[in-house]
Chains A and B, each alone.
Chain A
């Protein structure tokens, strides 16, 4: 089974500082990878996704992530944090069958709560 590990359950940054949220995955074949954001008591919204095209993926709200196969990582970054970025972020990996076809089941990491200080 595939798995996702998010390093750091809480990350705190100052407004204007770099945001770096770490995600490592385990998979025997190249996976599909996702980052979602969740605001309190709301559903999840897709930030960006990697589906075996460009390794540097740009998403909404100025976020981007780089797929590094050698490191099995998919870290999320944003050059300058805004107060509105405070939320919980989830990394997820698709589950593929033996033929490498995805059937839409996502495995999620435990989440990272981002706090932004003025």
Chain B
């Protein structure tokens, strides 16, 4: 079945360490997104990519980095510069781009990062 796979589901790291969260999709979607979720704050956009080798900062990009070397993959690195990295991270993708966008984002199951 097609879908979005995020790994790991749970991750514990010491303060000051960089961590990379994986996101892979087999839906043949062009665009991919990373959101951060904190209790009571909804979802906030970190980075998004509409095509391979191109990505844009979202609302809270500081302390994060991404790459988009393949259409299927959009890994997120949480760097030591991120002041409060403990959160639930959600990866999403969408079916098409530009004026033909259908509106629906497909989400992965999420990765919960806890910094000790």
Which residues of A pack against B, CB within 8 Å?
A: 4, 9, 32, 34, 36, 41-46, 49, 51, 90, 94, 101-106, 108-111
Question: Is B74 among interface residues, defined by CB-CB distance under 8 A?
Answer: no
Distance to closest chain B CB from A34 (angstroms): 7
- B interface secondary structure, majority: strand
Could you list 17 examples of A-B contacts with CB < 8 Å?
A4-B42, A9-B40, A34-B103, A41-B109, A42-B110, A43-B92, A43-B107, A43-B109, A43-B110, A44-B90, A46-B104, A49-B103, A90-B43, A101-B101, A103-B50, A104-B33, A111-B40
Query: Which residues from A are CB-within-8-Å of B11?
Result: none
B108 sits at the interface (CB 8 A): yes
Residue numbers in A under 8 Å from B107 (CB-CB) = 36, 43-45
Interface presence of B68 (CB below 8 A): no
The 10 closest A-B pairs by CB, nearest first: A43-B107, A108-B42, A108-B43, A44-B107, A110-B42, A43-B109, A104-B94, A32-B103, A102-B101, A101-B99
Q: Are the CB atoms of B108 and A94 closer together than 8 Å?
A: no
Interface centre among A9, A45, A104, by most chain B C-beta atoms within 10 angstroms, is: A104
Report yes or no: A102 in contact with B103, Cβ–Cβ below 8 A: yes
Kindly provide the distance from the CB of B43 to the nearest chain A CB, expressed in whole angstroms. Answer: 4
